Amino acid sequence: MEMIKQLWAYRGFVLGSVKREFQSQYRNSLLGAAWTVLNPLAMIIVYTVVFSGVMRVKLSGAGSPFAYSIYLCSGILTWGFFVDIVGRSLNVFLVNANILKKISFPRLCLPVALVLNAGINFLIIFGLFTLFLVFTGNFPGWPFIALLPILAIQIAFAVGLGMTLGILNVFFRDVGQFFGVVLQFWFWLTPITYPMDILPEYVRKLIAFNPMASLIGAFHSIIVSGEWPNWVSLWPISLLALVLCVWAMRLFRNNVGEIVDEL
């Protein structure tokens, strides 16, 4: 309750940080916020051509000609949101080094501001994707509201993981470089560009240990199949997200002095 009061008291600081970040992101850019849409759109087009056209990947039971594109969009956009939050968290202390040294404010403002910044970009592209679902007759209906708790789980997991890595990155700068490599493997080990049912059984069992697999699978269930997600499958990542958030908070509190000195 105390943390909420502190955040509310510093709401101007948080909103000002979000506004400055959004403006600086597209300053001196002719297309501005359109790049938020163009970058993932280009990726989706490439993957659609390669996997659906060249490699002939099909979704079993798909009744819509847009089924595979929708499958790709739902996976790539949510994965991009996850990577955006983790990436911002990974460098949050390095980017805000001057503020941390000179200004006294609740440190919880930093993860809140970065989530809001990433959330704005996600809402822009996902809002357009939702309009596409409506106009093509592929809107999933009531299961769509289940995206809210799933997004909350994803945000908690991304913030917990990102802030933990961000603290370590202050002391060991190789952490950021190494995690960039890990993300490339992690992407292909998550069923984003391919459906699980085309994989051998033993590979499915291995991918089941990937915490993002169940989360992306929940998005696919809702958006592609129009079904409610398997809530039981989301318990492991929910628990992991909680543990990571608590761990990141303790790690920061125990090392806040050293973090500021190292910066």
Number of CB atoms found within 10 A of residue 250's CB = 10
Q: Which two tokens stand for residue 164?
A: 């933990």
CA 136 to CA 141: how far, in whole Å?
A: 13
Q: Report how many domains make up the chain.
A: 1
211-223 vs 147-171: helix axis angle to the nearest 10?
Answer: 150
Contacts with 69 (C-beta within 8 Å, 6 or more apart), sequence order: 44, 48, 52
Which tokens go with 47? 């993957």
pLDDT in tens, the chain (263 residues): 666 777 777 677 777 777 777 667 666 555 555 666 666 677 677 666 666 554 445 665 555 667 778 888 889 889 999 999 999 888 888 877 777 777 776 777 788 888 888 898 888 888 888 888 898 888 999 999 999 999 999 999 999 999 999 989 888 888 888 898 999 999 989 998 888 888 888 888 888 899 999 999 999 999 988 899 999 999 999 999 999 999 998 888 888 777 777 76
- CA distance linking residue 114 with residue 14, whole number of Å: 9
Distance CA 223, CA 140 (A): 6
Interatomic CA distance for residues 182 and 215, integer angstroms: 18
* Residue type present at position 92: V
Q: What is the CA radius of gyration of the chain?
A: 19
* Domain span holding position 199: 2-262
Burial of 197 (0-12, 13-18, 19+ CB in 10 A): exposed
How many helices and strands, by DSSP H and E, does the chain display?
12, 0
